[in-house]
Amino acid sequence: MPNTPLTVLDLVPISTGSNATQALRNSIDLAQQTERLGYTRYWFAEHHLNPGVAGTSPAVVLALTAAATSAIRLGSGAVQMGHRTALSTVEEFGLLDALHPGRFDLGLGRSGGRTREAKAPALVGGGAAATVTDGRTPNGLLIPPRFDIRPLLGSPRFALQKKLLQLPHAEPQNYTEQVGDVLALIAGTYRSAEGEEAHVVPGEGAALQLWILGSSGGESAEVAGRNGLRFAANYHVSPATVLEAADGYRAAFRPSAELSQPYVSVSADVVVADTETEARDLAAGYGLWVRSIRTAEGAIQFPTPAEARRHPWTEADRELVADRVDTQFTGTPGQVADQLERLRDATGADELIITTITHDHADRVRSYQLLAEEWARR
């Protein structure tokens, strides 16, 4: 499968000793560099109340980045719909499209404090997920045990986040309905139950490419498939369920005016350097960073390798982050490209989403550069 497109996913990370201002400047620079290197898309994630992540508003950062780039597609990976309305989302991205028409991907996520949806019963035991034996796909891709996210979602920090993001007594709209409303508002076909029309200016008719992001074979995968939308599955966040997510999407897929067949992009956390030893050193802070997220501390500022090595790890710590650390792709350009090909082939991905965090910005840029050069030779 030659020329598989590569996308960048950026959280706008803040490193120790730095600040949000520098993180934003780094992200804009990385977008310019990856545009030059031939990456297809540059997406921003949405996260809140994290000391080490400045990507709180995809639309705002996208506006800044659009003004500093010219060709690379830009998008949200993803807008958290748990505390938004369809109208506000279409209005924000309509404004972006008005000044930079045809450049934006609107990625919609169920995230925002909702508990993980159950896997659709019809998908149990079917598809690529059924081929996993002893934690490996037939081509050797690691599929680790599932991480139980429920304690994290039940933490005081997540309760605080929900309180600050939502108006008092507000409840998130059903996600499937939200996606339908977004599609109708963009198409100009929205009607209320009473028959009232709603027309979003700007936003109606915007040349946005819609994506659904998901981590399982449940509602997100199903709504993407039923609406004939593109789907992004999160190996870097939930490696245990990436095959289930892709299976669910493909099982639910119905052709649309946008797509005649399923289209899947799959994410991976990657660090590339000239040598394997250097790559592993640059990635040393990743486990500690993941630990801060999973203990509900909030993503810490990304540590230096020396700072990370000083952390007194317990067995409970290591178990907490094992699935993420074990599925991070680190090494030379050739080693990482081999791992990405394995991920692509195991999931049937049409695109790959690359997310890389290192303490020093220059190392991060270099990682994307080395990967792009190696990928172009494949």
Q: Please, which pLDDT band fits residue 30 given cuts at 50, 70 and 90?
A: very high
- Determine the Cα angle at 249 with ends 247 and 252, to 5°: 105
pLDDT (tens digit per residue) in 325-351: 999 999 999 999 999 999 999 999 999
- In-domain check, residue 1: no
The number of C-alpha atoms within 13 Å of 264 and in the hemisphere containing its C-beta is 31
> Percentage of residues in the chain with pLDDT exceeding 90?
91
| Total number of domains in the chain | 1
Mean of per-residue pLDDT scores for the chain: 94
The pLDDT score that the predictor gives to residue 359 is 98
The pLDDT score that the predictor gives to residue 153 is 85
Q: Mean pLDDT, to the nearest integer, of 303-331?
A: 97
Determine how many CB atoms are found less than 10 A away from the CB of residue 283: 26
The pLDDT score that the predictor gives to residue 1 is 44
Within 208-285, residue ranges assigned H as helices are 219-226, 242-252, 276-282
Sign of the C-alpha dihedral computed for residues 221, 222, 223 and 225 taken in this order = positive
- In-domain check, residue 85: yes
Q: Can you read off the two tokens belonging to residue 369?
A: 């550069």
The number of C-alpha atoms within 13 Å of 311 and in the hemisphere containing its C-beta is 18
The pLDDT score that the predictor gives to residue 3 is 85
- In-domain check, residue 275: yes
Q: Which of 4-13, 83-92, 163-172 has the lowest mean pLDDT?
A: 163-172
The pLDDT score that the predictor gives to residue 123 is 47
pLDDT (tens digit per residue) in 167-198: 998 888 999 999 999 999 999 999 999 999 99
Q: Please, which pLDDT band fits residue 150 given cuts at 50, 70 and 90?
A: confident
- In-domain check, residue 316: yes
- In-domain check, residue 41: yes
- In-domain check, residue 81: yes
Contacts of 155 (CB under 8 A, 6+ apart): 296
- 174 touches 114 (CB < 8 A): no
Check pLDDT > 80 for residue 96: yes
Domain of residue 251 covers 6-376
Q: Please, which pLDDT band fits residue 71 given cuts at 50, 70 and 90?
A: very high
Read off the CATH number of the domain in which 193 is found.
Answer: 3.20.20.30
pLDDT (tens digit per residue) in 224-277: 999 999 999 999 999 999 999 999 999 999 999 999 999 999 999 999 999 999
Instruction: Please tell me the distance from the alpha carbon of residue 112 to that of residue 172, in angstroms, as a whole number.
Output: 9
The pLDDT score that the predictor gives to residue 68 is 98
